Amino acid sequence: MSKVVKKMMMDDLRQTVGDCREMLVVDVSKLDGVASNKWRVALSQKRIHAVGVKNAVARKALGDIGLTGLGKVLAGPSTLVFGSEDIVALSREIADWAQKEKKLEIRGGAIGETPLSAADVETLSKSPGRKELLGQLAGLILSPGAQLAAALLGPGGKLAGCAKSIADKTEGGEPAA
């Protein structure tokens, strides 16, 4: 392959990836055509891109933009998978597909310069995503205020309840103690 063609391929890959710095590598070479097509269509509906690459070209092109963590997992037939909300959602989707299609193999991935093994991707797929973490954080931030409000309203409510029962007893003709 000529240098001009390789340069064109690298430029195209850089343009396709854009500013994405979270990526997984899978092997879909063992899938048949129908299963591979269903996989790609389902991913594209969720705004996830799958690009088959030549390893040397991908290693060079992605290294130039700072995605050096993929170096070790780019071996044999490789398909780059990127997109989605965040790396957790991407890992979750690919792990689900790997369970459905036993011939789909997760090789690993990278978050920028940090490499991920296949086991790391599995672990990441089971962790909470960005939205869940933000919800948990908001709950933790609001928790002390809610506890303070409950503490202040609790004894006040009891005091108001006692005062009402005393007033009811005095209105009913019973002597107040």
Average pLDDT, the chain: 81
Q: Residue 132: which pLDDT band, with cuts at 50, 70 and 90?
A: confident
pTM: 0.70
pLDDT tens string 5-22: 888 888 888 888 888 888
Contact by Cβ (8 Å): 79, 51: yes
pLDDT at 168: 63
User: At 83, phi and psi to the nearest 5?
Assistant: 120, -155
Name the amino acid, one letter, at 113: E
- From the CB of residue 157, how many other CB atoms can be counted at a distance below 10 Å? 11
Name the amino acid, one letter, at 133: L
pLDDT at 155: 64
Name the amino acid, one letter, at 29: S
pLDDT at 171: 62
Residue 75 in this model has a pLDDT that exceeds 60: yes
129-136's contacts with Cβ under 8 Å and 24+ in sequence apart are: 129/85, 129/86, 129/88, 129/89, 129/92, 130/85, 130/86, 130/88, 130/89, 131/85
Both structure tokens of 129? 């995503």
pLDDT at 12: 87
Q: Write the CA distances from 89 to 35, 102, 125, 155, integer angstroms.
A: 21, 20, 7, 45
pLDDT tens string 86-104: 888 888 989 988 898 888 8
Residue 69 in this model has a pLDDT that exceeds 70: yes
pLDDT tens string 20-67: 888 999 988 888 888 888 989 998 998 999 988 888 888 888 888 878
Q: Residue 121: which pLDDT band, with cuts at 50, 70 and 90?
A: confident
